[in-house]
Amino acid sequence: MTRLFRAALLVVAITAIPITGAAAQDTLRLVLRYDPNTKPGVLVLRIPGVNGDSLRAILQRDFDNGDRINVVAADETGFPDAPTAGKNGNYPLYAKLGAVALVQATPTATGLHVAVHDVAQQKVARVKDFIIDGAPNSRDWRMSVHNVSDELEAWVTGARGIAATRVAYVQGLRNGRMYVIDSDGAFPTPVGDDSGVMSPSWHPKGTHLAYSVVGARGCCQIYVLDLASGDARRIEAVGNGLNSTPVFAPDGVVLVYTHGEEAGTDLFATTVFERGPVRRITVGRGSDNTSPTFSPDGRRLAFTSGRLGHPEIYISDADGTNPQTLTYSVGDQNYRSNPDWSPDGRLVAYQSQQTDGSFQLNTISLRDHSVKQLTNDGSNEDASWAPDSRHIIFSSTRTGSKQLFVIDSESGRWRQLTRNGGVRLPAWSPPLTR
């Protein structure tokens, strides 16, 4: 009954929009409407070819990590057959397993031909030829496969997956190096030559990382690393003193950062790729103002400020006007810091210190200021949203020394991303598709 019901919820809308050429196949749109509490079941059929098993494993793991799809486990030998329609076809068997969609992938000379079957309708709903780059199981190759996962997830659920993303972070609790790791934990890779790195932050196109460097003579200067060329350039406009927590504005042109000399630290803005003027944003009057994060439309900022005597999350217009507390309750002296604005603009994640001194991650709704606590095990810091506005990367001591973990803010399900201790300050990339 429930299975029937779920199957009945699948609606395939075929919209004919007159578009020419190669884009024509994108006019087929599979739209699934489902109870948000019920994840649609997707069965990935066995993939032929020498790399078939790893391709299938990556697709299944990506769907699972996305938390929007229930990966239907099929007997590896019993149900890998291509679906057949009709009175004696095997679609009903797949339906019985809980699959509303089947992914049938076949290697081609340039990549992968993928057909997604609608089990209820007993037919192919959509097909596409994907290009897969690079040598099998290389970093590029895996990213190409993640891109397939993300697009298939969009076909099935309406929301693009986050597999084709990476996380930048700092390895080392002091004199740390900057690393980038795939969203599934593959290929932790050092980037840039600097040590003493803190607060990496992605360019909105995923092409550059901004970060600060604590030198032998103290904190800090700001650098921007071009990931393609490996060249790092110091942002000279910021001047001497403390310069930290750089973030790119959504336009990719402006950089906002913390600068301080002798009267507290404030947020300032300058341009990234051409030397431009420095503009002051916050007026903290001797307090500390740091860790800025932009609203997705670039019109507002959230940041940490100590202007009330202890750190709280503030929000202001992008030019610093109209500052107001986002997290503050009278008499509560515990401290809240490190905001990160969700890409859909609805929530700000931050860390909140508990009476035992540990930090836990919260989200606060910008609509009604309702607060939701996401973690309670160990100390959890440095939240950074995935592009799906649902998953969050953070550092945690829950298994001992600081590691990176991913949590699904809707279900609370979490997984460990890194395996080498002493890791912190993660930043989730934008989608890294070409």
Q: Which residues bind other proteins (CB under 8 A)?
A: 174-175, 196, 198-199, 214, 217-220, 241-242, 244-245, 258, 260-265, 286, 288-291, 304, 306, 310-311, 335, 337-338, 351, 353, 357, 359, 381-382, 424-425
Closest CB 288 distance from other proteins, rounded Å: 4
Peptide bond into 220 cis (omega under 30): yes
Q: What is the per-residue DSSP string for 29-57?
A: EEEE---TTSPPEEEEPPPPSTTHHHHHH
Residue type, 90: N
Closest CB 396 distance from other proteins, rounded Å: 14
Extended beta strands in 230-278, E state = 232-234, 242-248, 254-260, 265-271
Cβ–Cβ < 8 Å for 266, 260: yes
Residue type, 49: G
Q: Which is closer to other proteins, CB of 195 or CB of 271? A: 195
Q: Which is closer to other proteins, CB of 151 or CB of 381? A: 381
Closest CA to 416 of 149, 154, 151, 188: 188
DSSP three-state, residue 150:
helix
Q: Which residues contact 349 (CB under 8 A, 6 or more apart)?
A: 339, 340, 342, 361, 362, 363, 374, 383, 384, 385, 392, 409
Q: Which is closer to other proteins, CB of 126 or CB of 424? A: 424
Q: Which residues contact 322 (CB under 8 A, 6 or more apart)?
A: 316
Closest CB 170 distance from other proteins, rounded Å: 9
Closest CB 432 distance from other proteins, rounded Å: 25
Closest CB 398 distance from other proteins, rounded Å: 15
Q: Which is closer to other proteins, CB of 203 or CB of 424? A: 424
Q: Which is closer to other proteins, CB of 147 or CB of 289? A: 289
Tell me how crowded residue 139 is: count the other CB atoms within 10 A of its CB. Answer: 16
Q: Which is closer to other proteins, CB of 88 or CB of 240? A: 240
Tell me how crowded residue 379 is: count the other CB atoms within 10 A of its CB. Answer: 18
Closest CB 70 distance from other proteins, rounded Å: 37
Tell me how crowded residue 173 is: count the other CB atoms within 10 A of its CB. Answer: 12
Q: Which is closer to other proteins, CB of 104 or CB of 304? A: 304
Cβ–Cβ < 8 Å for 238, 268: yes
What phi and psi, each to the nearest 5 degrees, are found at residue 375?
-130, 160
Closest CB 158 distance from other proteins, rounded Å: 36
Closest CB 383 distance from other proteins, rounded Å: 11
Instruction: Determine the Cα–Cα distance for residues 128 and 115; give it in Å rounded to an integer.
Output: 7
Q: Which is closer to other proteins, CB of 270 or CB of 337? A: 337
The number of CA neighbours under 13 Å toward the Cβ of 33 is 6
Q: Which is closer to other proteins, CB of 60 or CB of 353? A: 353
Token pair, residue 188, equals 């932790």
Q: Which is closer to other proteins, CB of 142 or CB of 402? A: 402
Closest CB 199 distance from other proteins, rounded Å: 6
Closest CB 219 distance from other proteins, rounded Å: 5
What phi and psi, each to the nearest 5 degrees, are found at residue 145?
-70, -40
